[in-house]
């Protein structure tokens, strides 16, 4: 009787090992979607910067990351291209306000409209990172329950 139980346990364990990468990938994908949704709501605004954020999964399904899209650029009025990652970084961490270049006109005097040396960051990535413990908790418990059911034969 003991050998039969041990053999069943080994069979269940080998099935579980084969199923686990797919289950882990599904868990990470669900958690990544939740993180992306929270990040987009934390960014707020008109939705332009939020639409630049995207979820990417590791090639072997071992991790998920939420970051600005690759190879996506925003053009300024003067035609300068900026990667959306640079813009997102400037909004996230803040940036200094530069003074304009001196004008060649003799009677022109620059009068600042901006009275701050730097624009403070919004820190939306940081705020979402602080909430990460809550994001995958339910999915992780569900995966653990599936593992227990598979090993215990309750499923």
What are the residue ranges spanned by the domains of the chain? 2-93+119-152
Residues whose CB is less than 8 angstroms from the CB of residue 135 and which lie 6 or more positions away in sequence, other chains included? 31, 34, 35, 38
Q: Which of 83, 66, 46 is nearest to 126 (CA)?
A: 66
Strand partners, 57: 64
More confident residue, 143 or 70: 70
pTM to 2 decimal places? 0.73
- The pLDDT > 70 percentage for the chain reads 90
Please write the tens of the pLDDT for every residue from 45-87: 899 999 999 999 998 888 899 999 999 999 999 999 999 999 9
pLDDT of residue 39: 94
pLDDT of residue 5: 65
Q: Is 128 exposed, middle or buried (0-12, 13-18, 19+ CB in 10 A)?
A: buried
- The Cα 102–Cα 111 span in angstroms is 12
More confident residue, 14 or 66: 66
- The Cα 22–Cα 46 span in angstroms is 36
* Helix runs in the chain, H state only: 2-43, 48-52, 84-93, 124-130, 132-135, 137-152
Please write the tens of the pLDDT for every residue from 86-107: 999 999 999 988 877 777 787 8
Q: Does the pLDDT at position 143 exceed 90?
A: no
């Amino acid at each position: 009787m003991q050998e039969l139980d041990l053999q069943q346990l080994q069979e269940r364990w080998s099935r579980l090992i084969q199923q686990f990468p797919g289950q882990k990938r599904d868990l990470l994908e669900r958690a990544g979607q939740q993180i992306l949704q929270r990040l987009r709501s934390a960014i707020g605004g008109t939705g332009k910067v939020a639409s630049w954020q995207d979820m990417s999964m590791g090639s072997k399904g071992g991790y998920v990351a939420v970051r600005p899209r690759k190879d996506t650029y925003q053009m300024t009025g003067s035609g300068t291209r900026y990667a959306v990652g640079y813009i997102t970084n400037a909004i996230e961490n803040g940036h200094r306000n530069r003074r304009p270049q001196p004008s060649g006109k003799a009677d022109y005097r620059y009068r600042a409209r901006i009275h701050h040396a730097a624009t403070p960051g919004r820190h939306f990535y940081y705020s979402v990172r602080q909430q990460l413990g809550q994001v995958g908790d339910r999915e992780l418990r569900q995966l653990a329950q599936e593992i227990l059911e598979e090993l215990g034969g309750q499923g």
